[in-house]
Amino acid sequence: MATVLAIETSCDETAVAIVKNRQVLSSIISSQIAVHQPYGGVVPEVASRRHLEIVNEAIAQALEQADLDWTAIDGIAATCAPGLVGALMVGLTAAKTLSMVHQKPFLGIHHLEGHIYASYLSEPTLNPPFLCLLVSGGHTSLIYVKQGGQYDVLGQTRDDAAGEAFDKVARLLNLSYPGGPIIDRLAQQGNPQAFPLPEGKISLPGGGYHPYDSSFSGLKTAVWRLVQQLQETSPDLPVNDLAASFQATVAKALTKRAIACALDYGLDTIAVGGGVAANSGLRDRLQTAANSHNLRVLFPPLKFCTDNAAMIACVAADRLEQGYTSPLSLGVQSRMPV
C-alpha cells in the first residue's frame, strides 16, 4: 500500500498530511481564519503569502508527527484545482520540487475528489457505487460515484453554494467569518420553526421542480427581508431563532434532494463531504431520513469535512496504486469540473 504525503493550499488552510492504506498517519491543518477575519472573507493575495510562509514548516511537522523520513514516502501530491490560483501554486510548486529532490512520483489532485474521498477516512472499506452529497463553500452537488473513479453530477446549485449561503447569512446577522460554524452553534439555542423560510426550487419547463438541483439565493434574500422587518420594531435581532430557522431550511432542502436521488438511482449509501458536512442540523436531519429509508449515510470525522490534506493524500494513494502519476508540467486551474 502506497504511503503518500499531500499538500492542500487551495484556499485559506495550509494543510499537509501523510496517508497509508486509507489510514491517516499525520495531518497538519494551519488555518488562516484569523488573518482573513478582519476583511470578512478570504483575501487571495494574503492567502498565497501566508501559505508560502508556513508550508515548509507544515511539511516538516507532518513527517515528524508520522515519525517518518522521506525514504518511507512513495509519492508526493498536491491539490491542483479548483481554488485560488496563487494559493494553489504554492502547494503545487512545493510538491513538484520535493518530488524532484527526493526522486518520488508527483500527483496533482482535484480538490473536490478529495472531499468525496474524505468518507474513506471514516469508512476505509467503502466502495463505489455510492452517492456523494458534496456541500462546501464553493459547491453543492449530488455526485454518482461509479466504479473506477468515474463521476456523474446529477444535481447542483443554480446560484449560491450551501456554505456560501451560510457565510452570507452570517454577514446579514453581523456574525464573523466563516459563518457556517457560528450559525451552527447559535442554531442549537434557537427555535427552527420560529420563522418559516422558503426553500429554493428550480422550475422545470414542462412544470414541476428539478428533483436534485438546489438554489439558495432566494433563501438568503428572504432572511435579508426578515432582518429588515424585525429591525423596524427592535434593534435586538432574535439571532438564535433566525440561525435555527435558516439552518433547518438548508438541511431540509439538501436532505430531500439527497434521499430522492439515492432512491431514484438505487444507491444504498450517501457519503457527505465538504465543510457543510460538519453542520449538526444537516447531520441530524439526513441521518434520520436515511434511517427511515434504510439508507446508509456516512459523514467524515469533523476535522476532515472542512479543507484538509488527508483527503487529498487518500485520493493520491489510490491513483498511485493504480499506476497513475502526473507530469511535472501540470499547472493549476481556478475552475475544473469533477
Contacts with ligand KG4 by CB under 6 A lie at 11, 136-138, 163-164, 166-167, 178-181, 184, 274-276, 278-279, 306-307
128 vs 179, beta carbon nearer ligand KG4:
179
What own/partner pairs with CB < 8 Å and gap ≥ 24 does 223-230 have? 223/169, 223/172, 223/173, 223/197, 224/172, 226/195, 226/197, 227/172, 227/173
Tell the smallest beta-carbon distance from residue 169 to ligand KG4 (Å). 10
Min separation Cβ 301 and Zn ion, Å:
15
Query: Cell numbers 489510514 label which residue?
Result: 23
| Three cell numbers written together for 12 | 485559506
Residue 140 lies near Zn ion (rule: CB under 5 A)? no
Reading across the β-sheet that carries 23-31, which strands appear in turn? 23-31, 13-20, 3-8, 75-81, 106-110
Instruction: Tell the smallest beta-carbon distance from residue 203 to ligand KG4 (Å).
Output: 27
Interaction between residue 308 and Zn ion (CB under 5 A)? no
**How many C-beta atoms surround the C-beta of residue 126 within 10 A?**
17
CB of residue 208 to ligand KG4, shortest distance in Å:
29
Q: Cell numbers for 188, please give them.
A: 442549537
Q: Does 13 bind Zn ion (CB under 5 A)?
A: no
240 binds Zn ion (CB under 5 A): no
Among 26, 99, 136, 215, interactor with Zn ion by CB under 5 A: 136
Residue 163 interacts, among Zn ion, ligand KG4, none and using kind-specific CB cut-offs from 5 to 8 Å, with: ligand KG4
Q: Could you say which of ligand KG4, Zn ion, none residue 167 binds, taking C-beta under 5 to 8 angstroms by partner kind?
A: ligand KG4
Please state, in angstroms and rounded to a whole number, the distance separating the CA atoms of residues 290 and 207: 28
CB atoms within 10 A of CB 308: 27
CB of 117 to ligand KG4, least distance (A): 13
By CB under 5 A, name the one of 8, 13, 164, 307 that touches Zn ion.
Answer: 307
Do 202 and 256 form a contact (C-beta atoms < 8 A)? no
